[in-house]
Amino acid sequence: MIRTQEQVLRAMADAARLAPFADGDTWRDALFTGPADTPSLTRPSDPDRALLGAIADEYTQVDLHVAQAAATRRIGWLREVLGIRPLPALPDRVIAHVDVDPKKAPAILPPGTMLRGGKDATGAERRYRTLDALTAFGAGLAGVRMTTEDGTQPLAAAGALIAAAPPFPLPGAAEAAPHILRIRSSALAFTSGAMTIAVEFEEPAALAQTIAVAQWRYCRADGRMSPAGTGTLTGGSVHIGLTGGCVDPEGGTPWIEMVVPAGSPVPEGFTFSGCRVSVVKREGIIPAAAFVGEGLVDVTKEFKPFGEVPRRGQAFYLRVDEALSKTVQTLTVTVTLLPEDQAELSSSPGYLTPSQYAHHTYRRQFLAVAQTHLFDYTDADYERDFPTRAPRAPEVVWERRINGAWQQFGSTANAFTTITASIGDGLSDPYEVSGQPGHYIRAFLRSGDFGWSNYLQEVAQFATDAAGDGAATMPEFPTAPIASTITLSYTTRSVAADRVEALSGWRRRVFGTGPFQPFRRAVDERGSRGQVAFGLDLGDGGLGSTMSLYLVVDSAAPCGAVDDPDARWEWWGGGVWHPLDVADSTQLLRESGLLRFVAPVDWDTGCTDVDASTGRWIRLVTTVPSRLGILRDVIVDAVVAEFDSRGIESDPTVGEALPAGTIKGLLSPIDGVKKVTNVAAVRGRVAEAPTAYARRASALVRHRDRAIAAWDYEQLALIAFPEIVSARALPHTSPASTFAPGTVGLVVLPDRPADPQPRPSVSLSQRLAEELEPRMPMGAALSVLCPQYEPVTVTADVVLRRGVPALVGIAAVNAALEAVLHPGAARPVRWGRDLYASALIAALEKVPGVDSVEEFALFLGATATGTPVDVVRVDACLGLYCSSGAHRLTCREQL
């Protein structure tokens, strides 16, 4: 027990209370003042009181010495007797990128070049020393070709992200290598029913042999691939029937695929120079919407296309996005009218043109005047002198929207009936009807109104006649046409496919121009099925010099496999690939690192094997592309620099990675260098503290530097690698089985706070194997395993306390949620512990500024879909829950 000065003074005061002083007082009254539990010295500056205060301080130091004596003696015994030395501090390192002036290139940085990078623990300038020589030529990146699982995508400029092309459905490790030709075209889009398409290959070779073995399939909205059979070959086109819809589940351009089944001969002789797609049959489309004017009409029931009271100028709109968003060749609108409405509009009951009505009225008035003046004039005489004008037939025209105006297509009809028209000039402009945007056609009543105007005039005449001589006939009520069904059919012109890409084996290529051979089973003569190639725009002056590149790679977590994959580096020259000697800290493109090599003196410009006419190319080829990481960036002219400090043993900052961009340049200028900055960093190690030393050395005494028990493996890993948060040894466990005698599975959780699912890197796994295997029994095997993560997604409605802004609140809630869910947040790490929704709710309600959580749902998986769960179960041995990063959180303020 280490007593404080206050505790010692209280003990002195209690003892002084027992000794009399004078006049009935005690020494406690003379020397101390204050309450009994917190006494203090009277006149502390007096010599006797100062002596008592110094004695109290000495008691505290004596207690501290006694408490530490055993530990100090133990540390001394560990160091002096057993000879276990403390671990020294290790400097942190950075990857520095040198930007040179092209006019003054190359720029030479000798080893030991000093770089400036912020402040150290003492406030002095932080400096870094380069470890290798660097000749910076300022070479640009000509391009990158990735023919692995992530597809082929050119990289246009240095520093750009290498994004994978639209994802391919790749097989598992046990399946045969795929051979797929994918054709993307907007002409394939439809959502229901049936459609027949034609795929035309231009200048094909071996097409018949290919179609004989190939199967067709197409994408569906639910992510499945539907089979479409073998297709029918007609000339240079293949006709294929699709049913049920063809929709890209990710919202892109739909596709159809030609697949060579496993076990069938691969048609490597199949080539073509172009690919076109057309719709040759599409029938029975029900319009997405219909409107009479601005009023919505349900065309699945009986409807009146021009309303109850048709008028000249009335329009009936049909929304047909599927057809009119394509290059339509022919369009058919099929109308079924009820039986009584199939007659022409001119014969509709009660139909009279305005000229007929006027002629009838004038004749009656003229004959009345003639009889008044005793003219001998009859109806026949009037018809001879004033013949009746023939009624004007009504006109119904179909129109589409082109260049901001309605334009007619097809012929004019005198009835609302079926029409077939050839449309050879492409699409219909988007238009909006009643607030609904889309592609529309319309039936326009250009003349006639189904007899309504004449009916009203006849009714007026009937009233006049009835009020006069009483001889009048009631006109018949006109009837607007009624349709029972309306559907559309169309065909399209042949258009070039939007994108044609091939996956053959593990190599993926995208069709550009010229002859295209989609099916190639290997990228080299050894049968390698994957490659990553990139070219450098390097002048002849750089040949024979050392090139230094930093490759940014999404780490390929080994999760059981620590041996090197079958892969090798090559360079292009003389029309073939040659072996390339490299210093590769990327571990064969499985993690970020430097790649250094000497540029061959006969390094060619351009590479026909990757369809590149510029750049000097190197590549990594492999037979197991699934074990490579994902290449994100290629940074030229990079060098490793190490923190240079004389006081490194007392500097705590070496244990932290230097943030990117902290390096500000050279300590001394070098001609041709414009800028130097760090693009990545690796943290070092602080000097081992006494407590950490005691724990490590004591553990060493226990396991004696041998890995026998599971605890031994865990301790050796944690002590040797401070970048590991937690390790769990599982006896008899391999990546494939939990019953593997002689194999120890070491589940490793690295310290990566920014990664929601941390996994050990390739180099960490290899270093673990190198550290542990010499200490393991003969015959034992080690497998470095990754945790088995269960990502979760949260939706929550949070009410904030008064005065807390919503933007501040949601940031705090999201940060707290990510911190709770991060696998490395809890100590000890929660291996095998299930997650309960109530625990997350409690954690959120503890966030400062949160008043309450009104609504909450916990979902298993990367999205907030499906049924919410109350508990997330994880594997008892390897399992950890983690954040999906796709939470839907809302925060509401209170007034």
pLDDT at residue 348 tops 70: no
CB burial readout 506-539, b (16+ within 10 A) else e: bbbbbbeeeebbbbbebbbeeebbbbbbbbbbbe
Task: Please report the pLDDT score of residue 169 as a whole number.
Answer: 30
- Is the pLDDT at 391 greater than 90, yes or no? no
Encoded amino acid at 537, one letter: D
735 and 869 assigned to the same domain:
no
Single residue among 436, 466, 484 that ends a domain in this structure: 484
Q: What is the pLDDT of residue 374?
A: 53
Are residues 457 and 330 both part of a single domain?
A: yes
Distance between CA 794 and CA 888 in Å, rounded?
Answer: 6
Q: Give the residues across from 140 on adjacent strands.
A: 537
Mean pLDDT of all residues belonging to the chain:
84
- Here the tokens at position 314 are 């009335």
763 and 792 in a single domain? The answer is no
Binned at pLDDT 50, 70 and 90, residue 514 comes out as confident
Report angle CA 336, 339, 345 to the nearest 5 degrees.
Answer: 80
Inform me whether the pLDDT recorded for 152 exceeds 50.
no
- Residue predicted with more confidence, 300 or 350: 300
Name the residue among 685, 633, 787, 490 with its Cα closest to residue 146. Answer: 633
pLDDT at 75: 78
Judgement on whether residues 586 and 570 belong to the same structural domain of the protein: yes
489 within a domain of the structure (yes/no)? no
Q: Across residues 94-98, what is the average pLDDT?
A: 95
Residue 260 lies in a domain: no
The CA-based dihedral angle spanning residues 111, 112, 114, 119, taken in that order and rounded to the nearest 10 degrees: 130
| Cβ atoms < 10 Å from Cβ of 736 | 10
Query: Quick one: pLDDT at residue 369?
Result: 60
Task: Please state the rounded mean pLDDT for residues 477-501.
Answer: 87
Same domain? For 848 and 769 the reply is: no
Q: In this predicted structure, what is the pLDDT of residue 453?
A: 65
Residue 256 belongs to a domain: no
In a domain, 97, yes or no: no
157 has a pLDDT exceeding 80 = no
Q: Does residue 129 lie within any of the structural domains?
A: no
pLDDT tens per residue, range 826-835: 888 999 999 9
Q: What CATH number corresponds to the domain at position 772?
A: 3.30.300
Please indicate, yes or no, if residue 119 is contained in any of the structural domains. no
* Lowest-pLDDT choice from 276-285, 350-359, 476-485, 841-850: 350-359
Tell the residue number behind the tokens 């609140």, with chain if given: 809
Total of domains in the chain: 5
Compute the distance between CA of residue 700 and CA of residue 77 in angstroms, rounded to an integer.
13
pLDDT value at 26 more than 50: yes
The sign of the CA dihedral 514, 518, 524, 530 is positive
Q: What is the mean pLDDT of residues 288-309?
A: 86
Q: What is the pLDDT of residue 294?
A: 84
**720 shares its domain with 778:** yes
Same domain for 61 and 16: yes
Which residues have a Cβ under 8 Å from the Cβ of 861 and sit 6 or more positions away? 791, 792, 793, 884
Percent of the chain topping pLDDT 90:
42
pLDDT of residue 352: 39
Q: How confident is the model at residue 716 (pLDDT cuts 50, 70, 90)?
A: very high
pLDDT in tens, 59-79: 888 888 888 777 777 777 877
Task: Pick the most confident of 137-151, 374-388, 764-778.
Answer: 764-778
Same domain, 744 and 630: no
* 397-430 residue pLDDT tens: 888 888 889 988 888 887 788 888 888 665 678 9
Whether residues 408 and 526 fall in one domain: no
d(CA 496, CA 69): 85
Q: Domain boundary at 720, 753, 785, which?
A: 785
**430: CB partners within 8 A, 6+ apart:** 401, 437, 438, 439
Q: Compute the distance between CA of residue 247 and CA of residue 245 in angstroms, rounded to an integer.
A: 6
Residue 134 CB contacts under 8 Å (≥ 6 apart), including other chains: 98, 108, 109, 548, 637, 638, 639
* Within a domain: 215: no
How far is it, in rounded angstroms, from Cα 249 to Cα 274?
26
Assess whether 40 and 159 both reside in one domain: no
Q: Which two tokens stand for residue 711?
A: 């605890």
Q: Are residues 584 and 628 in the same domain?
A: yes
Distances (CA, A) of 589 to 281, 564, 621, 628: 49, 11, 10, 6
Q: Cis link prior to 166 (omega < 30° from 0)?
A: no
Condensed to tens digits (0 to 9), the pLDDT of residues 197-221 reads 999 999 999 999 999 999 999 999 9
Domain boundary among 60, 81, 102: 81
pLDDT at residue 38, rounded to an integer: 86
390 pLDDT tier (thresholds 50, 70, 90)? very low
What tens digit of pLDDT does each residue of 651-669 get?
A: 888 888 899 999 999 999 9
3-state per-residue secondary structure call for 318-380: EECHHHHCCCEEEEEEEEEECHHHCCCHHHCCCCCCHHHHHHHHHHHHHHHHHHHCCCCCCHH
Whether residue 762 is contained in a domain is answered as yes
Q: How confident is the model at residue 168 (pLDDT cuts 50, 70, 90)?
A: very low
Distant-in-sequence, close-in-space partners of 857: CB < 8 Å, separation ≥ 6: 794, 795, 796, 837, 864, 868
- Domain check: are 730 and 797 in the same one? no
Task: Kindly tell me if the per-residue pLDDT of 337 is higher than 70.
Answer: yes
Look at residue 44 and tell me whether its pLDDT is greater than 50: yes
What domain range includes position 769?
694-785
- Decide which of 833 and 382 is more confident: 833
> What percentage of the chain has pLDDT greater than the value 70?
85
* Residue at token pair 């990078």: 117
CA distance 279 to 323: 10
Residue 362 has pLDDT above 70, yes or no: no
pLDDT over 70 at 470, yes or no: no
Q: Decide if pLDDT at 674 tops 90.
A: yes
d(CA 774, CA 762): 19
Q: Which residues, at least 6 apart from 301, have a Cβ–Cβ distance to it below 8 Å?
A: none
Residue 166 binned pLDDT confidence (cut-offs 50, 70, 90): very low
- Cα three-residue angle 293-299-304, rounded to 5 degrees: 55
d(CA 480, CA 316): 13
Q: How far apart are CA 422 and CA 420, in angstroms?
A: 7
Instruction: Please tell me the least confidently modeled range out of 109-113, 332-336, 381-385.
Output: 381-385
